[in-house]
Amino acid sequence: MEGRGFRDRIQEFASRNAVIVGVSFDSQAKNRAFREKNAFPFDLLSDEDRSVSMRYGAAKKPRQWFARRISYLIDPEGRIARVYEKVKPGRHADEVLTALDELGCKVERRTGGDGAEHGPRPAIRNMNGPRAGGG
């Protein structure tokens, strides 16, 4: 499952200061349960009305049953830097880590006076989520 690849390599994404967000058609309660069951350290957002999915091309109509498996890499300025239209769950985390490196997102650990780490925060928005049969 795609989400497990991101979960298992979350420290590598954190070292690049990346934020992972999943989006699915399921309710908040179903997403919360799925997230807990899989120990995902990232948010799964609910798009029950398909409005976000339609804007990002993961759904064509509001009553669509399944979302297309598509991901977006959003750069620190909020622009779409990469689109992954044909996601292979077993390799997707590697693809995104490589793209983050190509975009120069490997962040050296540095802290400000407040002790917090600073640097750009690209986001990976995954336009699919739990599906019948295990995601």
Q: Is there a contact between 67 and 24 (Cβ–Cβ < 8 Å)?
A: yes
Q: Confidence band (pLDDT; 50, 70, 90) for 8?
A: very high
Where do the DSSP E strands lie in 25-69? 43-46
Q: Confidence band (pLDDT; 50, 70, 90) for 81?
A: very high
The predicted-structure confidence for 58-68, as pLDDT tens digits, reads as follows 888 888 788 87
Does CATH place domain 2-126 in 3.40.30.10? yes
CB atoms within 10 A of CB 13: 22
Res 128: pLDDT: 54
Nearest to 24 by CA among 8, 36, 35: 35
Average per-residue pLDDT for the chain: 81
Res 130: pLDDT: 42
Least confident interval from 30-34, 82-86, 111-115: 111-115
Res 131: pLDDT: 39
Res 98: pLDDT: 93
Token look-up 């995902």 returns: 40
Domain boundaries, the chain: 2-126
CA trace torsion 30, 32, 33, 39 (10° rounding) = 140
Which pTM value belongs to this model? 0.73
Q: Confidence band (pLDDT; 50, 70, 90) for 120?
A: very low
Res 70: pLDDT: 86
